């Protein structure tokens, strides 16, 4: 007669193998799907690299040209520094809206320029530069003329 302990042990081993086989099968399926996806991605990457190499051969490498300023807008003559514009506006005692009125922009644009979030375009840059050497009295006169709709 077989030993009850050995029968019990054999039954436990059989049940454990049965349970683990179900878990291992699902993991094997997931691993096979991941490997297939990885292989497909590798193929796609190699195709794209090949395409990039072919397009690089077809088009000669040129550095991108900088955007050109419009003729006569004066953008090439002036440098812009946000802190310089802010200090000039404060020196003149102007609000951002009034300063914007003088340079042909909105107060919000002036605020964005001072924060460094945007840069003025050529025509605005020339107007900002023109206000550098102007005194408070002349600015008040220009502002009054602009607000009344008269010539500047």
For 106-111, the CB contacts below 8 A with 24+ separation are: 110/85
What pLDDT shows up at residue 151?
Answer: 58
Q: What is the domain partition of the chain in residue ranges?
A: 1-59, 82-148
Q: Tell me how far the alpha carbon of residue 90 is from its chain's centroid.
A: 31
Which tens digits make up the pLDDT trace of 116-140? 888 888 888 888 888 888 888 888 8
Percent of residues, the chain, with pLDDT higher than 70: 86
Which tens digits make up the pLDDT trace of 80-128? 788 888 888 889 888 888 888 888 888 899 989 888 888 888 888 888 8
d(CA 78, CA 123): 11
Instruction: Check if the beta carbon of residue 120 is closer than 8 Å to that of residue 113.
Output: yes
d(CA 35, CA 40): 9
What pLDDT shows up at residue 51?
Answer: 93
If you classify domain 82-148 with CATH, what class do you get?
Answer: mainly alpha
Q: Closest Cα to residue 80, out of 45, 38, 128, 115?
A: 128
Residue 72 has pLDDT above 80, yes or no: no
Instruction: Check if the beta carbon of residue 143 is closer than 8 Å to that of residue 101.
Output: yes
Q: What does each C-alpha distance from 18 to 4, 14, 53 come to in angstroms?
A: 21, 6, 53
Percent of residues, the chain, with pLDDT higher than 90: 26
């Amino acid at each position: 007669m077989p030993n009850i302990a050995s029968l019990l042990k054999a039954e436990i081993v059989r049940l454990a193998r049965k349970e683990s086989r179900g878990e291992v099968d699902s993991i094997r399926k997931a691993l096979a799907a991941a490997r297939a996806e990885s292989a497909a991605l590798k193929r796609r990457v190699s195709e794209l690299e090949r395409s990039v190499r072919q397009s690089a051969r077809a088009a000669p490498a040129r550095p991108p040209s900088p955007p050109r300023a419009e003729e006569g807008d004066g953008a090439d003559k002036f440098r812009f520094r946000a802190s310089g514009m802010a200090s000039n506006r404060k020196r003149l005692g102007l609000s951002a809206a009034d300063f914007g009125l003088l340079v042909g922009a909105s107060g919000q644009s002036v605020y964005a320029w001072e924060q460094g979030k945007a840069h003025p375009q050529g025509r605005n840059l020339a107007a900002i530069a023109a206000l550098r050497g102007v005194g408070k009295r002349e600015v008040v006169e220009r502002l009054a003329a602009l607000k009344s709709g008269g010539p500047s």
